[in-house]
Amino acid sequence: MDFAPDGSRLALALGHAAGIVEPGSGALHGLPVNRYTEPRLVRFSRDGATLLVATIDKRVHVLDGADARPLALFEPGGMVTGAAFLPDNQRVLLGLWDGSLGIWDIAGQRLGGTQGHIYGEVQVAVSADGTRAVSAADDQTVRLWELPALRQVRLFVDERYGIKAAQSMMRGVAFGAGDATVLASAWLLYCGTLRPTLLQFDAAGGQILQRLPGALGCGAESLVVAARGRRAAFVNRDLPNRPAAYFDLETWRMLGTFGAAEDRRTSAVALSPDGLLLVSAAVPVNGAALPPIRFWDAPAGALIATVTPEVGRPWTVAFADGRREELGGRTPAPLFAAALAQLRARVPAQ
């Protein structure tokens, strides 16, 4: 899942479909795909005009960021596991399943690349000015790169674990406030060892600044940063049902966790650009093809609504106050508009 930069649209990759939801208007734009092209990742460009959808058949679909209209299709040579647009919105840094990373334009031309990591899924982030990138992968390392040359300038080291950051697979990476820090989330296949869930490094010097201890040693995934680097969200694998976690990066403390009792576990999270609206997707249960999507008032820790996607049928929205609406009709209802307005009026964006 990924929010457009202005927060008006949310891109989803669910089951065998990818699409865009407009929380305010209730409009739904989708790209149906079959089981051979299951979407793995969605990412908006910085201006929101373009949406990138990477699928498990090693293809990248380039869509219109407003209505999900197909614009281009290319094959980067491997399955994409991480993506981040450069400031010109015409180039994108991709991390691949085999540990490599490279830069492509949105027409599909490869502009440069490097092996990057020894192996494993590569997650990537690009600095605000586009001169630096950071990557993290299953080889347990976090690396800083100079762009567009993709020259490695730093291998981040935690003195407690050496170059193997937390001695765990790294399944999320982002720049912090002002691009002064680098955040990485650790993911451990087998729980039981008390290792940090979240790491914070100084981007300039490379030293470790903060560690978030893991309660069970299971780690975190699906790391996203918002509110100009002040807030983060991730799937907390250290708690039962693996809820979505809402985290204050300034004070380095947990603000809350979000998950419904009936959810088996959370599979993905998204955070609006102002850090006020948190969205979580759960693993499908009871034979459902697609997971429920829950919208949360992050500062209050309250559920706003649950969207139930259905294949070939209208999606329904169940609000916390008991109302039910249909998502994506010809004349969409305002749906979340009132709830979002109240949320942002109560907690003004900074």
pLDDT reported for residue 62: 95
Please name the amino acid found at residue 21. Answer: V
Contact predicate 290/310, CB 8 Å: yes
Average pLDDT over residues 209-221: 76
User: What average pLDDT does the segment 41-66 reach?
Assistant: 94
Identify the residue whose tokens are 């790491």: 199
Q: Which of 10-24, 184-198, 245-259, 272-286 has the lowest mean pLDDT?
A: 184-198
Range 180-206 average pLDDT: 81
Give the Cα-Cα-Cα angle 256, 261, 266 (nearest 5 degrees).
Answer: 65
Q: Which of 144-148, 265-269, 297-301, 311-315 shows the highest mean pLDDT?
A: 144-148
Lay out the sheet containing 196-202: strands in order across: 169-175, 181-187, 196-202, 208-213
Distance (Å) of CA 228 to CA 201, 250, 287: 17, 11, 39
> To the nearest whole percent, how much of the chain has pLDDT over 70?
86
Residue 330, pLDDT > 80, answer no
- The region, left, alpha or beta by phi > 0 then psi within -120 to 50, assigned to residue 301 is left
Q: Where do the domains of the chain lie, and which CATH numbers do they carry?
A: 2-346 (2.130.10.10)
Q: How deeply is 167 buried, as exposed, middle or buried, from its count of CB atoms within 10 A (0-12, 13-18, 19+)?
A: middle
* Mean pLDDT over each residue of the chain, to the nearest integer: 85
pLDDT: is 329 or 257 the higher one?
257
pLDDT band, very low/low/confident/very high, at 289 (cuts 50, 70, 90): low
Q: The pTM is what?
A: 0.90
* Maximum distance among all Cα pairs of the chain, rounded to whole angstroms: 58
Q: What distance in Å separates the CA atoms of residue 43 and residue 329, rounded to the nearest whole number?
A: 25
Residue 312 has pLDDT above 70, yes or no: no
CA distance 289 to 268: 16
